Structure formats: structure tokens, C-alpha cells
A = this chain, B = another copy of it.
Amino acid sequence: MTENTKIVLGKNQYGKAGVRVVKISRDTERHEIEDLSVTSQLRGDFDAAHLEGDNGHVVPTDTQKNTVFGFARDGVGSPEEFLIRLANHFTGEFAWVTGGRWEAEQYAWERIQTSAVSSQGQAEGHDHSFVRKGQEVRNAVVVKDGDTIQVVSGLNDLTVLKSTQSGFVGYPKDRFTTLEETTERILATDVSARWRYSPEAIANGSVDFNKSYHDVKALLLEGFTEGYSYALQHTLYGMAQKVLEAHPEIEEVRFSAPNKHHFLVDLTPFGLDNPNEVFYAADRPYGLIEANFQREGISDDSNAWDGITGFC
């Protein structure tokens, strides 16, 4: 060891991950289900725990887990609201906890359609039997730092494909370029998108997170669908535009989107043509496009984004 080595603790956080809580609301015959995986991580003064083995400040991760279950007794509502309640609780309860990061995934269920009559009538689906929807996974992140609360909502794994109205031309060529230009290809991606709400909208409690979520998802799908795609980058911009134009409470949208290549199979060795009908869907390697879009004048550097995977 060199004489002048002094080691200090940098940024740190700790907590419990993967707390899978299922809340059934059963006040009436028609049950509601909320299904989340919650992660709670605390930030603050934890130097002694790291440097001296003194756990006097370490709220056990087990306690954080218990708190999640305890808070679920009063309902979830939306993942964002639930996480904000947790954030306020931990920072209020322990003086040295000055902030933290709370994250959730939520899994969607739909009511099973059956010939049995429900309390809402048959067409509305069963009162207490559900099938997991299985499409995208909704997520939310709440970061609290002192009195400031930031909220980033999002979704993962919304797999979309357009079978025409996509091409890729006009790119630079060099010694390593073998790709052929095309004006007709399949465009497919697994959309991972996150959007950050303005601190003002969060502070004044004006956001209806569930409504906003469903609307943003619909706009992302619409943005993907509309128009000719000159590149996945170009399509992402169109998707962001839809969201930012319709939702003034959202300041920025970020994407991480694989370009899931669908290669046209060369059938000529077998004596067959292939007029954009038969494709080989490749797994790896894949294109990877990350792009952030924001209202003009907004900072790029909110720490709300720290720890969100796969976004630049």
C-alpha cells in the first residue's frame, strides 16, 4: 500500500429488491388485482456501516420489505403513488435517510371471459378470475433527494413490427460496409421507453399516473405506426413527438430500442422468388438505438435517471 492511499465511500444505496406483492381489493363481489415487484433503496449517511461495521443507521432490508407489505394494506392505486408513499415514509421516519430510490414493475391482468355471468354482466368478464395480459411490463421509478421528488414512468418489452413503410438508405460507406440499401424492409423493435414528469406536476399532485400511462402507451404505438420510417432513430423521434405534444406534464422521453433484424431469405438457390414474404428473424447481433428527446431548455442531467438500465 502506498503511503497516501486514503479510501472514501462514494455514492451508495441499499435495500430490498424483488418484493413481489399482490393486492386483491375485495370490498365488493368484483375483485381488483394489483401485482407489483417493488425495490426499495435508501440513501443517506451510511458511512459507519461501510467503514466501521457499525449498523446503527442500517434500516434492515427486511424491514423495508415488511414496510412494502404493510403499506399495501391500504392499497396501491398506481405504482408511482405507492412508491412516493414509501419515499416519504422512509425519509420521514429516519433522520439520516435523506433520500433514496424506489422502483416497481407492474404486471397487467385482464378478466377471463366466460359464459358465467359476472356482477357487471357477461361481456365485462369474470369477477374474480384473471389471465395475465403478458404484453409490456409497466414500470416506475421514484427518486427522493431532500425535499425533491422525481418520477420516471415507463414500459419494457412492447414488441412491435411494421411489415412495410420502412427503409434504410443514404448512409456513409467505408471499407467495412457490405450492407445493401433498401426502401422496403421489416422494422421491428422491443420498445423500452421512460418518461420523466416535470417536478412541478409532481409537486402539485396533478398527474393521474394510470391514465397517463395508458395514454402514453397508445401514443407510442401510434407514433411507431404512422408514416414512413427512414431509420429506427427517425421513428423514435416521431414517437417522442406524439407523447411530448399531448402531455405537457412530461418533460422528456428516453428510448432504448433494439433493431430486431428480419433478414429477407434468399430463396433463389431453391428456385423460388421471395417478394418480401419470408424472413429470418435474428436474435444476435442486433442494432441498439438509444435516444432521448426533451422539451427545449430542459436539462439532460436529472439524477432521476441514475440506475435506469440501458438508457444513455
Contacts and interface: CB of A to CB of B under 8 A. Distances in A.
Contact of A113 (B9, B55, B218, B284): B218
B178 A66 contact: yes
Interface stretch (A77-85, A144-152, A169-177, A205-213): A169-177
Q: What size tier do the contact residues of chain A reach?
A: 35 or more
Q: Which of A270, A271, A292 has the most CB of B within 10 A?
A: A270
A23 B111 CA distance: 31
A64 to B, nearest CB: 8
A164 B300 CA distance: 47
A55 B225 contact: no
Interface in A245-273: 245-246, 248, 252, 254, 258-259, 262, 265, 267, 269-273
A281 B161 CA distance: 26
Contacts of A13: 290, 312
A26 B21 CA distance: 37
Contact of A58 (B14, B56, B171): B171
Contacts of A307: 310-312
A247 to B, nearest CB: 10
A248 B283 CA distance: 40
A126 to B, nearest CB: 5
B24 A276 contact: yes
Interface in A125-175: 126, 128-136, 157-165, 168-175
A277 B177 CA distance: 21
A236 interface: yes
A193 to B, nearest CB: 13
A258 B134 contact: no
A39 B288 contact: yes
Say what secondary structure dominates the interface of chain A. Answer: mixed
Contacts of A295: 5-8
A175 B51 CA distance: 28
Given A33-B161, A49-B230, A63-B174, 4 more contacts: A11-B312, A25-B277, A65-B285, A129-B160
Contacts of A1: 245-246
Contact of A22 (B15, B63, B170, B279): B279
A102 interface: no
Contacts of A35: 281
A272 B230 CA distance: 32
A292 to B, nearest CB: 3
Interface in A278-297: 278-296
A245 B277 CA distance: 39
Contact of A179 (B63, B101, B293): B63
A2 interface: yes
A162 B277 contact: no
